[in-house]
Structure 1
Amino acid sequence: MDKALYPYLLFWSIGLLCVLAEWRFPARPIAYRSVFWRDLIALGLYNVSFLAVVQATDRIPIPNYMPAALYSLPTVVKLALFYIVEDFGLYWVHRLMHTKPVWRIHRWHHSPTSLYWLAGIRATIPHIALFNLTYIIALPLLHEASAWAFQVIMVEHIVRNNWMHLNVTWRSSWLEWVFVTPRYHQIHHSTDPAHQRANLGALLTIWDRLFGTYYNPDDVKAELSFGLVERVPPVRLVIGL
């Protein structure tokens, strides 16, 4: 298989599993035909933007701060350290995006009025750059790690973004003691002002619990609605201005 095609085949294979899950266990009805084509366009923009961002951020000279004494750690331990550092950074970058000066680069991500597996692909170039920066900063923790670790990260990042926005209903409170779930993240996309700066975690829920942004999904009694409460010209929305 052409290595260049592998990520795309992987993405759509995972996407097919998401479609099946949403068909079998839908949380709310969605008119897929009216929203899917828009997110396909957003996916195309994301792919082009991501490639441009990676070319730029890969040149950032992050020093190797991994102590030499830790080089011999098993790859699985290095991977765990990587995820803790990256996820901590993602939490704070996401929190930054919900401050007034930076909100404009993130609001396109919150524009979908129907939340499902592909809706989370909407991201401006500055949004992608800030999120990718957390990966670059955590990367030295994988110094001399086995090649399989990077394959795991690629697959997990695709699965995670689809999973967080998945339109499924599942009583998952036990899992939410550790991991972000669809119903946990759906609250964050709510138009309710009480929810908009809550549940900012990307992978682990501990940061929300530690830093006061946790909102218990079991406390939500009314039906959630999604999308922006402000009107923004489409071009400004997409480019983050």
Structure 2
Amino acid sequence: MTTAEPTEPSGTETGIRLTGRGVAVFAALAAAVVALALVVPALADRFQSANGGVLLSDVAKGWSHTVLHPAYWVFLAVLALLEWRWPARRGEGLLSTGGAQDLAWLLLAPFFTLTLVAGYVHVLDALYDGPLGGTALDVEGTLGTAVAFVLAFLLADFFMWFSHWVRHKVPPLWRFHQVHHSQRAMSALTDNRVHFFESIVSATLAYVPARLLGLGDEAALLLALGTVYFTGFTHANLRTNLGPLRYVVVTPQSHRIHHSTQEPHWDKNFGAICSIWDRLFRTQYHPADEYPGVGIDDQDFPLEHSTRPAAVLATYGRQLVYPFRKVAADLRR
């Protein structure tokens, strides 16, 4: 971790200081998470037994496995401290207005991932087991779980790189991906600012390699969780390029370049975990010491300006609807 002085604030985020109110807010959230982690599993069972409560049960279980998992909040707390000590740019990070908006995306994601996205995965199951006959290479059974895991990881990571490139190049897909790029204050929660339409694409990319290689449920879950934690790290407001490791994996610095508002940085650094694909296909931006401001050049996009809960929820709704409006407007032209 380099200790070089961060650049000046971008001017778009005032942030919440790590001392005083910021610590109080984070401590209150952590206490709420601990309390909910103890209560939600019991509520999930009660919802399950209630008439028509399957959706609420699934959402509650989704929260208990992700949002309310203690390890995830320890991870966020560590990154918050690192962002305070070595910020890429002051005023960004978890304790900022943008961080509050990303928290809304994290908390509300299960309503889509466990309904629309889960339903879509069931359709994939039916297609894969039906017309495709459930074909699988069974690499796990033949070469072992470790080999199957590595192959599935590399295949999925390449597909994530390719899908990311496509979402920048195809205008309708960019409208949905634009939601993710709208963040002006990078943090470990920014990777959760993803439209559910994009989650459907991601579900496909995670599903296909796992089924094709015959990867078991436990190994597939480990792959998914590992990706969540790593991409949380690469979106953090950290001033580091990981030294020689940057030639192998994506870093907070290289991914900040991808989110940059500066034109020389556009359409660069598409990698999710491995940086080898960008180097192979010549989309890697090579200087590793630049920490630009981030965001999008769209004056109409409904950006967040307040941490008040009502304002955060209202902005979330507008950001969710905005891509559909823009695609419809583009089609009318």
TM superposition score category, shorter chain reference: 0.7 to 0.9
Matches within 5 A, 1:116-195: 116-143=187-214, 145=216, 148-195=218-265
Amino acid at match of 1:134: L
- Equivalent pair of 1:18/1:162 in contact (CA under 8 Å): no
1:228 deviates by 1.0
CA distance 1:112–1:148, shift in 2 (3 Å): same
Aligned twin of 2:295: 227
Aligned twin of 1:14: 75
Which structure has more RCO (C-alpha within 8 Å, separation ≥ 6)?
1
- Which of 184, 191, 215 is residue 113 of structure 1 equivalent to? 184
Aligned twin of 2:267: 197
Aligned twin of 1:54: 118
* Structure 1: tracts of 5 or more residues without a match: none
**Cα distance in 1, alignment partners of residues 283 and 209 from structure 2:** 23
- Equivalent pair of 1:183/1:217 in contact (CA under 8 Å): no
1:142 deviates by 4.9
Amino acid at match of 1:179: V
Aligned twin of 1:238: 320
Q: For structure 1, which segment, 159-168 or 225-234, has the greater mean C-alpha deviation from structure 2 after superposition?
A: 225-234
CA distance 1:219–1:154, shift in 2 (3 Å): closer
Q: Which one has a larger percent helix, Structure 1 or Structure 2?
A: 2
Q: How many residues align?
A: 238
The Cα offsets for residues 1-30 of structure 1, whole Å up to 9 and x where unpaired, read as 749323221432322222122123222212
**Cα distance in 2, alignment partners of residues 76 and 230 from structure 1:** 45
Amino acid at match of 2:98: V
SS at match of 1:228: coil
CA distance 1:72–1:102, shift in 2 (3 Å): same
1:186 deviates by 0.6
- Equivalent pair of 1:58/1:136 in contact (CA under 8 Å): no
CA distance 1:231–1:58, shift in 2 (3 Å): farther
1:68 deviates by 4.9
**Cα distance in 1, alignment partners of residues 139 and 219 from structure 2:** 20
Aligned twin of 2:25: none
**Cα distance in 2, alignment partners of residues 164 and 38 from structure 1:** 18
- Equivalent pair of 2:241/2:254 in contact (CA under 8 Å): no
Q: For structure 1, which segment, 177-186 or 22-31, has the greater mean C-alpha deviation from structure 2 after superposition?
A: 22-31
Across the aligned residues of Structure 1 and Structure 2, the Cα RMSD in angstroms comes to 2.3
- Equivalent pair of 1:187/1:217 in contact (CA under 8 Å): no
* Structure 2: tracts of 5 or more residues without a match: 1-37, 45-60, 303-316, 325-333
Q: For structure 1, which segment, 98-107 or 181-190, has the greater mean C-alpha deviation from structure 2 after superposition?
A: 98-107
Amino acid at match of 1:228: I
2:109 corresponds to 1:41: no
Aligned twin of 2:307: none
**Cα distance in 2, alignment partners of residues 98 and 79 from structure 1:** 28
Amino acid at match of 2:101: R
Q: Alignment identity in percent?
A: 27
2:88 corresponds to 1:27: yes
SS at match of 1:114: coil
Which one has the largest radius of gyration?
2
